[in-house]
Every structure is written in structure tokens, then in C-alpha cells.
Chains A and B, each alone.
Chain A
């Protein structure tokens, strides 16, 4: 195979204000290969790719396509160079069909859905996509939507494809299917660039790996000649142990029982369907599932933020041993009952914290109303803020910096720090390491393990199955608002969980055609 460079980046630098997102990055991707761009969250992978696809324009440096210098100032121009990007967040019109979305925005062509459908069919057959051009986007699964995005790009004739974290939303089975398609495209002579931070995917899929760290280009290695530990070192800058510690649960006793709860959203869609489970003190219960399967509603139900149609939630007080119902209680009432329930929600700045308030004021969120004074007391929150900043190594100019100015990892430390500070007996965390760098992620895992050792019952909603399998004691899988299985994390496999995640309804009437 003769290696022909499809795209070359030379000395690319990009700044946002004072932040240098990319610094002197050099990168080459060849036709007929899959190149992984590996780096931690915030290492500048996406920014770099956005410059190739015309969303940003580099401050310095040059881009060469097929050996000629290219100036790409808009996504449309990027298409002119046959570059197509599939973003992490899909950019599709929900009420349109797949074919309509694929054709949308193409100016020169005639709008002829019949011809388009033919073309789409051709592309699908060529690479093994499985998609119905007439299906509306809103009825599609995440994986189907991704397929539409990829076809959209291919339809426009792209032969350089950039995929930004494509597996983040997929089950292991779907991931395998995607990888097969990508390999077929590679064999067809296309240049595939995939952005990721998952090492095992890099190793199983790509031909070469380019590593970025803090915006700087570290180097490129052939996949066949490298290992996980070498890549980690390149990515983080030092050797780290990627094993997550897991102790056996101690002194377990019933702490929280969820008893066939059902929950309906504003439009009447059933979000939780007859969900039952319990969590014990000193254990971490993982919750796995495709995004939007009811994870958020489940945690919010327990936290007193969702109205339950049916069912009940019981809390067993560790001191008195009393069994108390949490149904129809709001968060304030739950706290007043003496239930020490902490909750790190998925939406950190939109729910867990107030972005425009400083760290001190955010510390008060849970406790400001205590006491009869009309006025706030900022002493305690202030010392708590200082303690969290010190203990959890929060990088911030001061305790009076608005939290929205902190980086994702530091925001999460502030939030988790506050929730842990009230010495909870139940701790719920939703996607606690999303967007965090490796060091911050491991700090969060350690904090959770500490809480577990102290006998806290922990519910951990996660998306990275590798982490769930390594960190949790038990994993409950939910799909479409119902529990599809509970497995022992020590013995299960990702594949088993993946199957449970997409498991069709098994209540007898509808048999496995989902």
C-alpha cells in the first residue's frame, strides 16, 4: 500500500483569549488508514479537528490537503476539500426523515428525494449501514442517528472523515459494528481520523495514534508497536496506574429501597416503569444504560425532584433503624427528616451549582436556610470552601471566583466536595467523571471509595462500561425506563451489560423485535 498523505497540519496554533488550545501541532493522516487522535479531556483534540472542518480558523500554521495548501474558513469550504466531520452532538433535524437530513443544505443539487434515496441505498450497501431513509430522526436510537450523520458526510463525497468521540454513546455491540464499517471505509481508501480518549479502542481500531497533551503535539506511534501504558504516559506525561481500587463491601445493611416506582414526564411518556432495587451501605451500585433510559429520572425520584405515579422509596435510618418513606417529599423536607442524602447531578452548573456564584456561595446552597436569622452566615461556607480547595486541589484564583470560570474537573471537585461534606449516608452521582482529565477522574473514584469505606450507600450512574465494571460492586442495567438486569460487577463482562442495555421488553406480549 503506497502511503499518500491526505491531510497535513503544520505548526498549527490556536488561542482562545489567554488559553492556548493548540500549540505548534504537526499531524499527518494518510489515505487508507485510521488515525486516532488521543488525548485527555481538554487536550485540544476537538479544537484541532474543528480547524480542519472549518469551524475555527488557526491563528498560526498551515493545512495541506493532498499536498496543496488549503484555507478552510467554513464547514462548507471543508466539504469542498472533501472533509466531513461527525460531531459528538448530532446536528440533525428531529422531525425530518433520514433522507431529508442527508440532503439538507446541499445547494447545487436538485432536491429529489427519490434519487437521493437511491444514492443513500448505494452508500449503505457499500459499507454495510443499516438505515431506513424514510425513518424520522426522533424515532431513532442514538446509534441510528450516528449512522445518519456518517451517511450525510459520505453523501457529500467526503473522503476524509473525522469522528469526534463516536463511541461515547454506543453499546459495546454497536461500537463493534461501527468499527467494522470504519475498517471497510479505510479499505476503500478513505482517510479516517477518530478522536478518542479510550485506549483499548485506539489499540483495536487504528493504524497509528497521534497523542496530544495540554494542546501540544507529543508524537505519533504505530498501534502495532505500542501498549496501553506507553500511550497513557504520552497522554498524561507520567506513568500512572490505571487500575481502579475496589474493596469488598463491609458492614452492609439495607439503606435505600426503591419499590416499583413509575414516573411520567410532562408529555405523558413513561420515563420509569415499575423500577425496583435496593442499595446497601458500604457498596457502590452502578447503573448502566443507553443515555436517556431513565437514569436522570431515577436519581431525581430519589432526591425528591420527580413526582412518582406509583411506587415508593424507603430509607432505613442507620441510627434509629426506622424505615421512612421519601415519597412526595421535596429535597428540603427530605433533609429535614434527617435523611443525609447527597446528590451529584449530571448537569453540574445547571443543577448542582450556580455558575455565576462564587465557590463560597455555592457551598451554602444546601445549608443556607438553616437557623432563624433573616441573614446569611458566610463563615462556615467560607471555611468549607477553603477546605475543599485545599483537600481536593481545586485550581482557582480564589474562593470568590464564580464557579463557571473553573475548568470542568475543578467544578466537579467543588460539587462532589460539597456533597460529601455533609457526611451523607446515601450518595448519588451521575456521570461524575464526564469531561474530566484522568487525574481528576481518579480523584473522584478515590473519593467514592473512601465514602464506600465509611459505609455510605453509593449509586453511581456511569457511561463508561470499563469504569463501571472496575469500580462498582453490583451493576443494575436499565433500558427504556425499566430494569433489564442486575449483575455482579466482579464477574460480568461489558458485552453482557451491552446486551442488557438493548434488551427488548420481555413481558411476554412483545417478543424481541426491538
Chain B
């Protein structure tokens, strides 16, 4: 039995699960991570574009806010619009996620919502009066998204299918349906020209005002729904423990289906905002991957709608800003995707430091916490 000494046996560092960290300290770490990622973005851009740190941020700022200080607000509205869409999708996913239903189908649910909008715009645009048309668009878009959400929910509730795979598959189906619809409506050209009917009104020369206000409203409502409503409470209980839900007599199946109807319906709203409030047309790239980015936004926002506002604002700022840096330096667009990816990784990674601490050799070790 050889005698062993401490220092030789202990590893350099090891990871220990923390007890609950005080919320304030956790937020300090998160803010530090955000600051760090902004610094890193600047430094990486500097290294690649050979511009100074200040210039880099100047370009990023112009890519996001344009010439805001000269009174030109167009770019600001565009920024808010991009936030609105990503936020709307993140909000839509949140009730499902709180229920621990991993809805990865925001993309598809938004696409069918958008499809419903464009269908109504083309089919009924000339025959219905504007107010009636708008009501029809809103109702069908929500309904379409909701159905796209309910289908996997029903299968989950009745047969316990894996919702992650199911919702992902539904995305592909939605994409194909839209490709086919574009072929029918667009004919040989493969493009649907913008439809003049059923567009959201322009407010004060601003195309995106309605979209932005709508999502602002949804944000507040979603917060209230999750925090103060009985249904929101049921979602939390089902998410935390289905056994507890059964114990108090909550109909778990009903809650799953109802929540996915809401989740899908809100994704449908996002699709409608994109079609009726922005493109007035549709293609398979309508949502452009935001349905997946939204998953991260919901998580990074700790399922809190107001924190999600901040997170989406940061991510969209980087997306637009770094894209501008890339365009200015005539760089490939992958550059901005890589940068945004890195930042999200840092933001997600900082959660690790909130839940775990790293102990170095001089402090005594625990093998398992």
C-alpha cells in the first residue's frame, strides 16, 4: 500500500455543481458574458477587417440604426421589426418549453401561418372588404399555426411520440407545401409577386409599426398569461412534474394540446406578420431560420418575456451590425453567422458558470457533488 501525497493525486481543476446562486450574482455573470461577447465581437472584427475597434462599432451601429442621429429612423424601425419577429417566435415557444414540450417546429408553424395569410390575400383580397379581410387573415393564420402545433401535441398526448423529431418533421412538410403553393401561384417564375390586398396599414410612413406594436402587446400578454393565469400555472405544474399534475387532477393531455395550440397559433401570428406586415408575398425562406434561433432566445430569456426582449435585441443588433461589417469589408456573410454563433455560445456557456464552479488544485476537491 503505497503512501500517496495530496498534490500528486489531485487533478489541476475539477467541476463542482454550485448551490443556487443568488439571482443578482447570476445576472452579474450574464451581463459580464454579454459585455465580454461584445468585446470579442469587436476584437474579432478588428482582426479580420483591419479596422479599429471604434470604427468596427461605428459600422455596426450604422448597420443597425443607420443615420439615426441625422433623424433618419428607417433603419431603427427595421431593427425593431427584426426584433419583433424573433421575439414573437420566442414568445410562442415559451409556454411549450415551460411545459417541457420541446417544440422545434416554430419555423413550420410560422410558415403555415404565413401561407394562410397569403392564401387569404390572394383568394379573398379583391372580394372582401378590408376590415373583413383582415379578420379572416388573422383568424386563419392563427388557426393554421395552431393546427401545425396541435398535430404533434395530440400524438405526444396519446402515443407519447417524441415531440422534438415530430415538430422538426412538420417543418419540412410546411416548407414543401409552400414550395408547391409558390409553384401554383407563381407559375413559371417561381416567385409570388407582392399582393396588394390585405396588407397591414402603414402608420406614419412606417411599414412595420403594426408588427412592432402587435408583438409588444403579445409580450405583455404572454408575461401575464404565464405568471398570473390559471392556465399558465397549469403549464408550470405539468412542466415540473406530470405526477404532481395528475395528483392535483390536472388533465395533462388537455394542457399539452391546449398549450401547443397557443404556441403554434402564436407562431402563426409571426408568419402573418411576415406576410401581411412585411413581404406581402411568400417563399420557403420566409422565416429564415428564426424559428430555430427563437429556441435559444426563449432559453436565454429564462422563459421570461421581458428578458427575451433584451436577448433578442442583443442578437439582432449583432446580426445586423456584423452583417454590415461583413458587407463593408466585402466579406462573406458566413462571417456574421459565425460571430452571432460565437456570441450565443458565450451566452449559453455562461449558464455553465452559474450552475457549476471550477475548483483549482489548491482548494480541496470533491469527486462528486
| A-binding segment of B89-97, B277-285, B331-339, B360-368 | B360-368
Instruction: Give Cα A73 to B361, complex, Å.
Output: 13
Q: Of residues 219 to 255 in B, which have CB atoms within 8 Å of A's CB atoms?
A: 228-231, 233, 236-237, 240-241, 243-244, 246-251
Instruction: Give Cα A352 to B249, complex, Å.
Output: 12
Instruction: Give Cα A98 to B277, complex, Å.
Output: 68
Which residue in A71, A343, A350 is a CB contact (below 8 Å) of B241? Answer: A350
Which residue in B5, B247, B251, B366 is a CB contact (below 8 Å) of A351? Answer: B247
With A56-B367, A57-B365, A71-B5 known to touch, is A375 a contact of B249 (CB < 8 Å)? no
Q: Are B246 and A347 in contact (CB under 8 A)?
A: no
Q: Are B19 and A57 in contact (CB under 8 A)?
A: no
Instruction: Confirm or deny: B369 has a beta carbon within 8 angstroms of a beta carbon on chain A.
Output: yes
Instruction: Give Cα A374 to B249, complex, Å.
Output: 18
How many residues of chain A get a CB closer than 8 Å to chain B's CBs? Answer: 52
Q: Are A57 and B367 in contact (CB under 8 A)?
A: yes
With A368-B230, A368-B233, A376-B228 known to touch, is A331 a contact of B248 (CB < 8 Å)? yes
Instruction: Confirm or deny: A369 has a beta carbon within 8 angstroms of a beta carbon on chain B.
Output: yes
- Return the chain A residue nearest B228 by Cβ: A375
Instruction: Confirm or deny: A87 has a beta carbon within 8 angstroms of a beta carbon on chain B.
Output: no
Instruction: Confirm or deny: A304 has a beta carbon within 8 angstroms of a beta carbon on chain B.
Output: yes
Instruction: Give Cα A303 to B5, complex, Å.
Output: 58
Instruction: Confirm or deny: B10 has a beta carbon within 8 angstroms of a beta carbon on chain A.
Output: yes
Instruction: Confirm or deny: A417 has a beta carbon within 8 angstroms of a beta carbon on chain B.
Output: no
Instruction: Confirm or deny: B1 has a beta carbon within 8 angstroms of a beta carbon on chain A.
Output: yes
Q: Are A60 and B237 in contact (CB under 8 A)?
A: no
Q: Are B4 and A71 in contact (CB under 8 A)?
A: yes
Residues in A neighbouring B3, C-beta threshold 8 A: 68-70
Instruction: Give Cα A304 to B248, complex, Å.
Output: 10
Instruction: Confirm or deny: B72 has a beta carbon within 8 angstroms of a beta carbon on chain A.
Output: no
Instruction: Confirm or deny: B70 has a beta carbon within 8 angstroms of a beta carbon on chain A.
Output: no
Instruction: Give Cα A353 to B354, complex, Å.
Output: 25
Instruction: Give Cα A71 to B243, complex, Å.
Output: 44
Residues in B neighbouring A334, C-beta threshold 8 A: 249
Q: Are A305 and B247 in contact (CB under 8 A)?
A: yes
Which residue in B4, B249, B364, B367 is a CB contact (below 8 Å) of A332? Answer: B249
Instruction: Confirm or deny: B9 has a beta carbon within 8 angstroms of a beta carbon on chain A.
Output: yes
Instruction: Give Cα A330 to B260, complex, Å.
Output: 24
Question: Could you tell me the distance in whole angstroms from the C-beta of B21 to the nearest C-beta in chain A?
Answer: 10
Q: Are A405 and B243 in contact (CB under 8 A)?
A: no
Question: Could you tell me the distance in whole angstroms from the C-beta of A4 to the nearest C-beta in chain B?
Answer: 16
Instruction: Confirm or deny: A81 has a beta carbon within 8 angstroms of a beta carbon on chain B.
Output: yes
Question: Could you tell me the distance in whole angstroms from the C-beta of A465 to the nearest C-beta in chain B?
Answer: 28
Q: Are B367 and A369 in contact (CB under 8 A)?
A: no
Instruction: Confirm or deny: A357 has a beta carbon within 8 angstroms of a beta carbon on chain B.
Output: yes
Q: Are A331 and B249 in contact (CB under 8 A)?
A: yes
- Return the chain A residue nearest B232 by Cβ: A376
Instruction: Give Cα A19 to B18, complex, Å.
Output: 12
Which residue in B1, B248, B249 is a CB contact (below 8 Å) of A80? Answer: B1
With A71-B5, A330-B249, A369-B230 known to touch, is A56 a contact of B368 (CB < 8 Å)? yes
Q: Are B367 and A54 in contact (CB under 8 A)?
A: yes
Q: Are A353 and B244 in contact (CB under 8 A)?
A: yes
Instruction: Give Cα A305 to B241, complex, Å.
Output: 14
Residues in B neighbouring A354, C-beta threshold 8 A: 236-237, 240-241, 244
Question: Could you tell me the distance in whole angstroms from the C-beta of A369 to the nearest C-beta in chain B?
Answer: 6
Q: Are B244 and A352 in contact (CB under 8 A)?
A: yes
Contact digits for A323-341, partner B, Cβ 8 Å, 1 yes 0 no: 0000000111111000000
Instruction: Confirm or deny: A495 has a beta carbon within 8 angstroms of a beta carbon on chain B.
Output: no
Q: Of residues 183 to 228 in B, which have CB atoms within 8 Å of A's CB atoms?
A: 228
With A55-B367, A71-B6, A335-B249 known to touch, is A355 a contact of B240 (CB < 8 Å)? yes
Residues in B neighbouring A16, C-beta threshold 8 A: 19, 369
Question: Could you tell me the distance in whole angstroms from the C-beta of A134 to the nearest C-beta in chain B?
Answer: 33
Question: Could you tell me the distance in whole angstroms from the C-beta of A488 to the nearest C-beta in chain B?
Answer: 32
- Return the chain A residue nearest B20 by Cβ: A405
Instruction: Confirm or deny: A481 has a beta carbon within 8 angstroms of a beta carbon on chain B.
Output: no
Residues in B neighbouring A353, C-beta threshold 8 A: 244
Q: Are B365 and A331 in contact (CB under 8 A)?
A: no
- Return the chain A residue nearest B224 by Cβ: A375
Residues in A neighbouring B369, C-beta threshold 8 A: 16
Which residue in B19, B243, B249, B366 is a CB contact (below 8 Å) of A347? Answer: B243
Q: Are A351 and B243 in contact (CB under 8 A)?
A: yes
Contact digits for B350-364, partner A, Cβ 8 Å, 1 yes 0 no: 000000000000001
Which residue in B20, B241, B246 is a CB contact (below 8 Å) of A331? Answer: B246
Instruction: Confirm or deny: A273 has a beta carbon within 8 angstroms of a beta carbon on chain B.
Output: no
Instruction: Give Cα A366 to B233, complex, Å.
Output: 12
Q: Are A57 and B246 in contact (CB under 8 A)?
A: no
Question: Could you tell me the distance in whole angstroms from the C-beta of A355 to the nearest C-beta in chain B?
Answer: 7
8 contacts between A and B (CB under 8 A): A19-B19, A57-B365, A73-B9, A73-B367, A303-B247, A349-B241, A356-B240, A375-B230
The 9 tightest CB contacts between A and B, nearest first, are: A332-B249, A331-B249, A17-B19, A351-B243, A59-B364, A354-B240, A71-B4, A57-B365, A365-B248
Hey, which bits of chain A sit against chain B, CB under 8 A?
Answer: 16-19, 54-60, 65, 68-71, 73-74, 80-81, 303-305, 330-335, 343, 345, 347, 349-357, 361, 364-366, 368-369, 373-376, 405
Q: A19-B19, A57-B365, A365-B237 are in contact. List 13 more A-B contacts (CB 8 A).
A: A17-B18, A17-B19, A57-B366, A304-B249, A330-B249, A350-B241, A351-B243, A355-B241, A365-B247, A368-B230, A376-B228, A376-B229, A376-B230
Hey, which bits of chain B sit against chain A, CB under 8 A?
Answer: 1, 3-6, 9-10, 18-20, 228-231, 233, 236-237, 240-241, 243-244, 246-251, 364-369
